[in-house]
Chains A and B, each alone.
Chain A
Amino acid sequence: MIRDLHEKLINQEITSEKLTEDYFATIEKKDPEIEAYLSLNKEFALAKAATVDKKIASGEEVDLLAGIPCSVKDNICIEGLPATAASKVLENYIAPYDATVISKLKACDSVFLGKTNLDEFAMGASTENSAYQTTKNPHDISRVPGGTSGGAAASVAADECVWALGSDTGGSVRQPSSFCGVVGFKPTYGAVSRYGLIAMASSFDQIGPAAKSVEDAAIVFSRISGRDRFDSTTMPMADKNYENLLGGADLSQLKIGVPKEFFAAEGLDKKVEEKTKNAIAKYEKLGAKIVDISLKNFDYALATYYVIMPCEVSSNMARFDGIRFGKSVGAESEKAGTDYTLWDIYFKTRAKYIGPEVKRRIMLGTYALSAGYYDQYYKKAQKVRALIKKEFEEAFKKVDVILGPTSPTPAFKIGEKTENPLEMYLADIYTVTANIAGIPAISIPCGAVEIDGKNLPVGLQLMGKWFDEETVLSAAHVFENS
């Protein structure tokens, strides 16, 4: 889609300004119901679009992303705009700097329409944990869009932007993309800079796009990846334009691993299983070699994630203490004439402005890291993480990509899982392994199932070797186009 729009822009069949205005018109029409956006950036977006139009009119060469309207998840900083992370504690926060991904996209002349909704601080699986609003699934508004990048995926599915920037810690781009019937991509850990992404669990967090096609995701990935001095976990990347490497991939050379554990997992919906098996058959027909593999530690992935992640959360959330930014009871106490101590400010600010799921994870992590429990939980989980990584290394000696469902079920009903945190966590079962191992993974649409008279999309997940985004994207692209 991006390439087509780009052609139209450079041939001056359309202008970026008109395109941007059209997207704002769609947002105004649809978003009161979908509620994908937390804030809009109309003035700056239209000014940027006009700049791009001028460049094109004067014959200047522009990037593929130039003048193309996109949305940005509200946990990624754009200078001068709010970055709430869907938390009350950052309600009044204005980002003083650009995330590295934003600087890179600005250099491409991207047009940012606005900031999208998420689960508070990217903790959840349905976007229901937002402190502000519940985003609806555009395919059935009684259902969740998935999460945590629910706003991002819904904004793409509802045509409220061309593509969206999200973040994926345990499946937060892929799972909502599968629920909303779009493409969601999580790059290798270290491929994209996390500088300016409000940290949730730093050893898992990775920024990635939700888009209409694999090619669009590849276009964005090529432009946001690379080594960054502000994120020491980023690795030097080969300077590739992945979108040009997708065509004509020869699937007869491709070995696809299918772990038997994926189909033995509790809670896998029969219809999702059927769609996944159809996808395997399609790959086989396209010439790929299907290899049965085993990932015995798959059963322990979710437990590993739910120890390490809250530990990192408890550490990362310590900064929201009412002192340097965000909401604080300190300012209120002054006005009310109450004399709070420093201690009171920490305790009361965090009690008042941080939401229940975030508190739950902070406490879980605090407990697991506390004296006497560190070895039992955190160290044990890091050992299992090492085993899971090793298992993937062994598997990738035999196969090029690993295939499975993205989510065990299609989109669930709003309110269905909010009462039981553990049940919500199970929504991440297929996606977390990629974050635990740090490997790239993509979710692509593989059909829909009819439930209550609505067609709910199903996503197929492909995981690849570390920094081998090329194979993952190519394999996904061939599937999408056949």
Chain B
Amino acid sequence: MLTKSEVQKIANLARIEITDAEAEKYSKELSGILDFVEKLNEVDTDGIEPIAHITGAKNIICEDKVIEYNGETKENIISNFPEKKDRFDKVKAVF
């Protein structure tokens, strides 16, 4: 059973603010799901490689070429910024 403080730690890692009541609720729900997935431990996986890609594709490469987008697409990207200054995405100081 996940404790409330463990749930708070997970929420912190996931960058989600949660209330005490939510921590309580998530501790029950997440524990229920974790109990359910515990059944995977019944499966013998000795010597089995974890799968990397389901259809076996590997080393897919593409030409290293810049694709120029038109002005309209650029403006559409910029207009989706939550906050902007001129044509820059405005963010709070990182440090």
| Contact surface of A with B, Cβ cutoff 8 Å | 79-80, 93-97, 188-190, 203, 229, 232-233, 235, 297, 299-300, 303-304, 306-307, 314, 318, 321-328, 330-331, 334, 340-342, 345-348, 350-351, 354, 359-360, 362-364, 366-367, 370, 377, 379-387, 389, 421-422, 425, 437-438, 466
B42 to chain A minimum Cβ distance, whole angstroms, is: 8
Determine which of A79, A96, A367 lies in contact with B30 in the assembled complex, contact meaning CB atoms within 8 Å.
A367
A269 to chain B, nearest CB (A): 21
Complex Cα distance, B60 from A363, in Å, reads 32
**Contact code string B60-95 (vs A, CB < 8 Å = 1, else 0):** 101100000100010011011111000001011110
Q: A347-B17, A351-B16, A366-B10 are known contacts; what are 11 more A-B pairs with Cβ within 8 Å?
A: A80-B76, A95-B76, A96-B77, A203-B54, A300-B43, A323-B82, A334-B83, A350-B14, A383-B48, A387-B43, A421-B32
Tell me if B89 and A323 are in contact (CB < 8 A).
yes
Q: Interface residues, chain B, CB within 8 Å of chain A? A: 2, 7, 10-11, 13-18, 26, 29-30, 32-34, 36-43, 45, 48-51, 53-55, 57, 60, 62-63, 69, 73, 76-77, 79-83, 89, 91-94
Interface of A is mostly: helix
Q: Given A350-B17, A367-B10, A383-B49 in contact, is the A79-B33 Cβ separation under 8 Å? A: no
Contact B73 A328 (CB under 8 A): no
Do the beta carbons of B39 and A303 come within 8 Å of each other? yes
**Bound Cα distance from A422 to B51, whole angstroms:** 26
**Contact between B13 and A350 (Cβ–Cβ < 8 Å)?**
no
- Measured between beta carbons, the chain A residues less than 8 angstroms from B76 are 79-80, 94-97
- A382:B51 contact, CB within 8 angstroms: yes
Q: Would A359 and B16 be within 8 Å (CB), given that A188-B55, A380-B45, A466-B55 are in contact? A: yes
What are 12 A-B residue pairs whose CB atoms fall within 8 Å in the complex? A94-B79, A190-B54, A233-B53, A303-B40, A331-B83, A351-B17, A359-B14, A362-B14, A366-B14, A386-B51, A387-B48, A422-B33
The closest CB in chain B to the CB of A371 belongs to B13
State the Cβ distance, A180 to closest chain B Cβ, in Å.
28
Judging by beta carbons under 8 Å apart, are B80 and A306 in contact? no
Tell me the minimal C-beta distance from A121 to chain B in angstroms: 14
Contact: A363 with B16, CB < 8 Å? Answer: yes
A300 surroundings in chain B (CB, below 8 A) = 39-40, 42-43
- Picked from A321, A331, A383, the residue with its CB within 8 Å of the CB of B15 is A321
Shortest Cβ-Cβ A-B pairs, 8 listed: A96-B76, A382-B50, A328-B82, A438-B54, A383-B45, A351-B17, A342-B92, A347-B17
Q: Which residues of B contact A299 (CB under 8 A)?
A: 39
Write out the residue numbers on chain A whose beta carbons fall within 8 Å of the beta carbon of B45.
380, 383-384, 387
**Nearest CB of chain A from residue B19's CB, rounded to whole Å:** 9
Residues from chain A with a CB closer than 8 A to the CB of B16 are 347, 350-351, 354, 359, 362-363
Nearest Cβ on chain A to B18's Cβ, whole angstroms: 7
List, in ascending order, chain A residues with CB within 8 A of B33's CB: 306, 364, 421-422, 425
Q: Specify the chain A residue showing the minimal Cβ separation from B55.
A: A190
Other-chain residue from B11, B17, B49, B62 in contact with A363 (beta carbon distance below 8 A)? B11
Set of chain A residues within 8 Å of B39, measured between Cβ atoms: 299-300, 303
- Docked pose: A302 CA to B74 CA in angstroms: 42
Closest partner residue, chain B, to A350 (CB atom): B16
A323 touches B37 (CB 8 A): no
B55 A235 Cβ-Cβ under 8 A: yes
Asked whether, in the complex, the Cβ of B15 is within 8 Å of the Cβ of A347, the reply is yes
Inter-chain contact B55/A386, CB cutoff 8 Å: no
A185 to chain B, nearest CB (A): 18
Kindly list chain B residues whose C-beta atoms are within 8 Å of the C-beta of A340.
Answer: 92
A286 to B87, CA, bound (A): 65
